[in-house]
């Protein structure tokens, strides 16, 4: 369908990553790291996770640029602000065509063989303008989760997504049935290369037998649960009461290593950290915002898998983190399907 262009023997992919949340970045890094092994050049377009990409993909070109706007969070640091989200999204969607024309110049300079997007709509309009194929990779689409937008804006969003040649649908999310062609795969996430002993040395576990990670994504909630002395508390972007003596790893790039070191993760419901728990076989509890459609979809799918580990935010402080508690937790292990996703991309671009 498209003529494949070669650049010094390398096929070139322009990879757009949503500016909303870190889950898009973590799974994109897992995919890109695997693609780089197959003699494919990747250029990343993103704004909100530049340092994250630079450190994770040191030899990959990262071009700063706004790709989309996501949900706006209330002052509690947890709940979606639908009114503000609606206001921001309407403005962004109304400017899709104008922004895609500006973005076209960036893409033309790069001259890619394939455009991939997780899960901004603009790249599909750009791909059409420069006549290259485009692939969506995500567990949800903005069309699905922003169903409270006016019909005109939803129509515009759907129209942009319709330009994608293929959607690779990851688990734990919305149906994405509006795409013309869709393939389902397993989970995609980063997995650790470190042994249990190496993880224990990295996170200074000498005086502890167990570890628990709290990752509540900037919520104003303060964790003040009880624990026994052989349990070490770690946190990422979470408020922990001082008496718990936690170790803060908010700025850790390889957060999947900390997940893999944990006996329990207590987190906000999001694809990134939950997929890393599942593919690394780490028990977890999660809290959700009932107004957030992606989170509700993730929670429903986890329940369908037999995982009844949702917890109310205020109930976290009623937990006692003890050996008995941690050793009784359900372990659920899902395979990492990153190789399958890369194979789909490779076959798609090859043909």
Nearest to 188 by CA among 341, 332, 42: 341
Measured at the alpha carbon of residue 240, what is the angle toward residues 26 and 247, in degrees to the nearest 5? Answer: 65
pLDDT for position 350: 74
pLDDT for position 224: 98
**How is residue 159 annotated by DSSP?**
H
pLDDT for position 5: 42
pLDDT for position 1: 35
Q: How far apart are CA 216 and CA 222, in angstroms?
A: 10
Give me the residue spans of the domains in the chain: 11-188+337-350, 196-327
Contact between 232 and 210 under an 8 Å Cβ cutoff? The reply is yes
Can you name the residues that pair with 239 across neighbouring β-strands? 222
pLDDT for position 3: 39
105: tokens are 């110049």
CATH superfamily of 196-327: Glycogen Phosphorylase B; (3.40.50.2000)
Helix or strand run (H / E) with residue 201:
helix 196-202
β-strands 134-138, 166-169 pairing? parallel
Matching CATH topology for 11-188+337-350 and 196-327? yes
Contact between 20 and 27 under an 8 Å Cβ cutoff? The reply is no
Q: Mean pLDDT per segment of 10 residues, for the chain of length 351 residues?
A: 46 95 94 93 96 97 94 91 97 95 96 97 98 98 97 98 98 98 98 96 98 97 98 98 96 98 98 97 97 96 96 97 97 96 88 57
Range 11-188+337-350: architecture per CATH: 3-Layer(aba) Sandwich (3.40)
pLDDT for position 351: 57
């Amino acid at each position: 369908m498209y003529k494949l262009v070669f650049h010094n023997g390398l096929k070139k992919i322009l990879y757009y990553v949503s500016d909303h949340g870190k889950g898009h970045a973590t799974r994109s890094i897992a995919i890109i790291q695997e693609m780089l092994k197959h003699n494919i050049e990747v250029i990343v377009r993103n704004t909100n996770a530049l340092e994250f990409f630079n450190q994770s993909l040191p030899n990959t070109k990262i071009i700063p640029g706004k790709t989309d706007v996501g949900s706006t969070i209330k002052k509690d640091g947890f709940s979606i602000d639908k009114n503000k989200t609606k206001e921001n999204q309407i403005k962004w969607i109304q400017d899709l065509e104008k922004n895609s024309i500006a973005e076209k110049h960036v893409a033309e300079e790069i001259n890619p063989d394939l455009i991939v997007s997780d899960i901004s709509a603009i790249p599909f309009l750009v791909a059409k303008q420069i006549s290259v194929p485009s692939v969506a990779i995500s567990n949800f689409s903005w069309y699905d989760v922003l169903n409270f937008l006016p019909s005109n804006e939803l129509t515009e969003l759907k129209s942009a997504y319709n330009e994608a040649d293929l959607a690779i649908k990851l688990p734990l999310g919305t149906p994405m049935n509006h795409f013309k062609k869709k393939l389902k795969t397993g989970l995609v996430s980063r997995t650790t290369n470190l042994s249990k002993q190496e993880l224990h040395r990295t996170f200074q576990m000498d005086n502890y037998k167990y570890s628990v990670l709290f990752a509540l994504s900037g919520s104003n909630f303060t964790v003040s649960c009880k624990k026994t002395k052989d349990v070490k508390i770690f946190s990422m972007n979470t408020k922990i009461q001082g008496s718990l003596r936690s170790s803060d790893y908010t700025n850790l790039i390889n957060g999947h290593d900390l997940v893999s070191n944990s006996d329990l993760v207590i987190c906000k419901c999001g694809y990134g950290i939950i997929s890393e728990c599942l593919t690394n076989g780490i028990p977890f509890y999660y809290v959700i915002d009932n107004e957030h459609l992606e989170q509700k979809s993730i929670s429903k799918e986890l329940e369908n898998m037999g995982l009844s580990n949702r917890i109310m935010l205020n109930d976290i402080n009623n937990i006692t983190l003890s050996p008995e508690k941690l050793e009784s937790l359900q372990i659920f292990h899902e395979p990492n399907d990153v190789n399958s996703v890369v194979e789909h991309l490779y076959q798609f671009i090859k043909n």
